[in-house]
Structure 1
Amino acid sequence: MHDYPNDLDDYVWPVCVTPGCRRQLWVSETGRRACRPCEDATSKRLADLPNLFRRLDTTASLMRGARRIGGGGGGSKNPPIPPRMEVLALVGPGGVAARLSAIEDSWRKALGWTVASWRGSPAQAVPEHARFLINNLPWAADAYESVGQDIDDLRKLHSKCKAIVDDERRPGRVQIGLCPARYDDSLCGQPLTASAASHRVRCLACGSRWETLGEWRQLRAAQEAVTEQHRQAGAAA
């Protein structure tokens, strides 16, 4: 059981330190820093990362959508340009292997262990780093002060790798007209865009927002009113 102070009004129940979780810990999790669901999810992500890395580190993944440079003929000998710089950023220096290595090194330092000297290529290192982190994750969830941030960083890294491997595309934005907001009798007129991923529209110039279906209708009505005013002004001229 948690050790309650005499004044229960001042007692703050322990919560998971992982950003975005903050779940109250169960009595059986007394003394832990991260909750068991966060630990379990992180273990699964770590186990998945080596396979995701292998799939990222392929010619097909790197060159998807590549184009050739040089002469326009089909026989150009110039190599294609890999357009997927986000893939190169993950499989190259400073990518997945380096990020896992940094977490492993910090854990080893906290444990008082020697920092691993063998690294090898990223393809060789990623499975080794993942194995070390999985094996020592229970300790980190219990006692490592910065485990919450590491869990969050691993979640983001896994999500980024999986999105690219699954070839997820960010929804494009479309032009939906000009901002009809007025300040001091002056029309804002900033081009507005909308995305299929969100029902919110925000003007980057004046900060006006339209978030609900009713507000979208108000936006459209205001835009049509501005258009009509311009039409009438043009006819009068």
Structure 2
Amino acid sequence: MNDIAADYSWPTCVACGHELWVSETGRRACRPCEDKTAKRLTELPDLFAQLNTTASLMRGARKVSAATSGSKTPPVPPRLEVLSLVAAGGVATRLRDIEDSWRAALGWTIAPWRGSPAEAVPDHTKFLTNNLPWACDAYDSIDQDIDDIRRLHAECTAALTGERRPGRVNIGLCPVTDEAGAPCGNQLTASAGSPRIQCSNCGTEWPDMAAWRDLRLAQEAATGRSEAA
């Protein structure tokens, strides 16, 4: 019995890594993460509407001169970061992909054509908000979706305010080994915008600052093994 107790580890939120409260037992993500995600989803339609305007797309554009005003090819909007969010492949597409994965997990029919991005974004956020409690309770990939929604909200906010998105820096190689003892060795990166680090090769993640210490120790140990070999 004591051995079982010694091996037991308290369940943690898959999104932030914090220990779950007793009332949250059985959930995948904690309620604070659910609340933050719900707030971001609620704000996304308005952020999208503000971005999807000529003023946002053309902010900072030079006035077209008389010499070029007769060109058949219109100038490309200078704010390509805004265009990438409001056009196909942007906010609407990224929210649609999350919705489709949730529908598949629930065994529901994938929704048909949803119209233009401006028409689709409110519908996507409504679906995701309504089904977020289920996803935080039982959906295996909710951690990735919470992070995707957080990043999408941050990108929209930064595009509106003109803030530069935090860059990524290399922080060493992934120290995880497979069953045969072979190291993953994939380059890991970190961003000032999130404490979460995830290896794009093996999928191992370090969700918060506390886990970074374990990562650093594992990297040092892996370096020692490499030098010894």
Q: What range describes the TM-score normalised by the shorter chain of this pair?
A: 0.5 to 0.7
Tell me the residue number matched to 2:188.
none
| Match runs of 1:108-127 below 5 Å | 108-127=103-122
Give the match's secondary structure for 1:67: coil
Amino acid at match of 2:27: R
Tell me the residue number matched to 1:137.
132
TM-score (norm 2): 0.67
Give the match's secondary structure for 2:115: coil
Larger Rg over CA atoms:
1
Runs of 4+ displaced beyond 6 Å: none
Alpha-carbon distance, 1:7 to partner: 2.1
Amino acid at match of 1:97: A
* Among candidates 13, 18, 22, match of residue 16 of structure 1: 13
Give the match's secondary structure for 1:81: coil
Tell me the residue number matched to 2:28.
33
| Match runs of 1:1-237 below 5 Å | 7-18=4-15, 21-67=16-62, 73=66, 76-78=69-71, 79-169=74-164
Q: For each residue in 1:2-43, what CA deviation from the matched residue of structure 2 results, as whole angstroms up to 9, or x when unmatched?
A: xx986211011100001xx10100000010000000000000
Alpha-carbon distance, 1:80 to partner: 4.0
Tell me the residue number matched to 1:179.
none
Mapped contact 2:155–2:165 kept (Cα < 8 A): no
* In structure 2, C-alpha distance between the alignment counterparts of 1:67 and 1:80, rounded to whole Å: 10
Mapped contact 2:51–2:160 kept (Cα < 8 A): yes
* In structure 2, C-alpha distance between the alignment counterparts of 1:95 and 1:5, rounded to whole Å: 53
Alpha-carbon distance, 1:170 to partner: 6.2
Change in CA separation of 1:61 and 1:27 when aligned onto 2, cut-off 3 Å: same
Amino acid at match of 1:9: A
Tell me the residue number matched to 2:173.
none
Amino acid at match of 2:147: D
Q: For each residue in 1:22-68, what CA deviation from the matched residue of structure 2 results, as whole angstroms up to 9, or x when unmatched?
A: 01000000100000000000000000000000000000000011135
Alpha-carbon distance, 1:85 to partner: 0.7
Alpha-carbon distance, 1:166 to partner: 1.7
* In structure 2, C-alpha distance between the alignment counterparts of 1:117 and 1:9, rounded to whole Å: 51
The percent identity for this pair of structures is 65
The alignment covers a number of residue pairs equal to: 165
Mapped contact 2:20–2:30 kept (Cα < 8 A): yes
* In structure 1, C-alpha distance between the alignment counterparts of 2:76 and 2:87, rounded to whole Å: 16
Mapped contact 2:12–2:18 kept (Cα < 8 A): yes
